[in-house]
Amino acid sequence: MAAADRRHGEFKTPGGKLTAVDLSVHQGRLTDVSVNGDFFLEPDEALLDINAALEGLPADTAPGELAAAVAARLDPSAVLFGFSVEAIATAVRRALGFATGFADHAWEVIPPTPLSTEMHVAMDEVLTRDVGSGARRPTLRFWEWESPSVVIGSFQSVRNEVDPEGAARHGVRVVRRITGGGAMFMEHGNAITYSLYLPQSLVDGMSFADSYPFLDGWVMAALEKLGITAWYQPLNDIATELGKIGGAAQKRLANGGMLHHVTMSYDIDADKMLEVLRIGKEKMSDKGTRSAKKRVDPLRRQTGVSREEIIAVMISTFTERYGATGAGLSAEELRRAEELVEQKFGTEEWLYRVP
């Protein structure tokens, strides 16, 4: 087999090690498979089992089936440290061109842009669809809040999450987004929210749990520059030693586009938040605290710098890592988002689809 026929794929496990795969494809099947990397594996002979498990599999084998084939071949006593069978599957899929990495895409960054809350959630759907269809490059967009708002998850009950008297008293708008997860309380300047619009090939082969820290690796690096060591607390909370600082949510569309967005608290008015949101005991039961107020640990207190400075560090970190270029929202994108607000996100039917 000529050297030019060899294919190479890599995947670095978030917080772990690099897994690389070199292979060839002959008559639609994997051949001459060599898994390698800076991971740890015991016993040594287990590497031969991993390669043998992949040898001869159809090149279009789904990521879950690749991982299952490797797991089935390994002796139960084998120890994989710093990587996993899923990491191997992702590296194989990248070698075959099914899965991609951040560096395989030309990224754009849209800086904080003031929009109504309904427009923000509508823009998420517009841009996710455009990236899925190939009409827009993968994009990072920062939100800017115009008015106090509660954004509830796609499957949450309005009456269970929001106190109508508190919302009315504080002039808080309630909007439903397309992603799952919990309710977010926002005011101008008190939070940092961003959305990533990406092709699903970027998380090909990953579990939902693994995709969260993978997509936010650049955020952890940006926070590190600001003196904060943060990590993911499964499934979708971002935490530091001083408490939760944010949460993430995702939505995958049928056309191959994917939305991953995060809100981090900068300077939340916890008293007001507790007057507007109904945060029950069951939700708090696994958080290690009896007070929702104690869970809000603003970035302002932990960094001592302005919200604008934090966003600037985040943008520069993303740009340096992935060679992203600046961009904005087009008139056409704004028009389509406005239409979605009229037809969906601004309607009672959408807001109260779960009463």
Most confident of 217-231, 265-279, 281-295: 217-231
Nearest partner of 214 among 196, 228, 226, judged by Cα: 196
Weakest-pLDDT range from 1-5, 42-46, 112-116, 182-186:
1-5
CATH code matching the domain that covers 102-351, chosen among 3.30.300.30, 3.40.50.970, 1.20.1250.20, 3.30.930.10: 3.30.930.10
Render pLDDT for 156-176 as a digit per residue (tens, 0 to 9): 999 999 999 999 999 999 999
Q: Look at residues 148, 353, 181 and name the one whose alpha carbon lies nearest to residue 260.
A: 181
In this predicted model, what pLDDT tens digit does every residue of 99-151 receive, in sequence order?
999 999 999 999 999 999 999 999 999 999 999 999 999 999 999 999 999 99
pLDDT at 243: 85
How high does pLDDT run on average in the chain?
93
Q: Where are the domains of the chain?
A: 3-96, 102-351
3-class state of residue 280 by DSSP = coil
Q: 1 pLDDT band (50/70/90 cuts)? A: very low
Upper half-sphere CA count for residue 84 (Cβ side, 13 Å): 15
Backbone angles phi, psi at 92, to 5 degrees: -65, -45
CA distances in angstroms from 193 to 120, 248, 325, listed in the order given: 10, 10, 19
Q: What band does 295 get if pLDDT is binned at 50, 70 and 90?
A: very low
Extended strands (E) in 43-183: 79-81, 108-115, 139-145, 149-152, 173-176
pLDDT bracket for residue 289 (50, 70, 90): very low
**For residue 282, is pLDDT > 50?**
no
Asked whether residue 286 carries a pLDDT value surpassing 70, the answer given is: no
The whole-number average pLDDT for the span 11-21 is: 94
Sheet with 173-176, edge to edge strand ranges: 173-176, 149-152, 184-186
What is the gyration radius of the CA atoms in the chain, in angstroms? 22
pLDDT at 285 over 80: no
Listed residue (213, 216, 218, 205) closest to 234, CA to CA: 213
pLDDT confidence of 4, banded at 50, 70, 90?
low
Q: What is the pLDDT of residue 292?
A: 52
What does the pLDDT average to over 65-84? 97
Decide if pLDDT at 275 tops 50. yes
Fold for 3-96, please state it: Enolase-like; domain 1 (3.30.390)
Backbone angles phi, psi at 146, to 5 degrees: -95, -35
Cβ(66)–Cβ(93) below 8 Å? yes
Q: Which residues touch 16 (CB under 8 Å, ≥6 apart)?
A: 39, 82, 83, 87
Instruction: Give percent of the chain above pLDDT 90.
Output: 88
Q: Tell me the pLDDT tens digit for each residue of 305-315.
A: 999 999 999 99
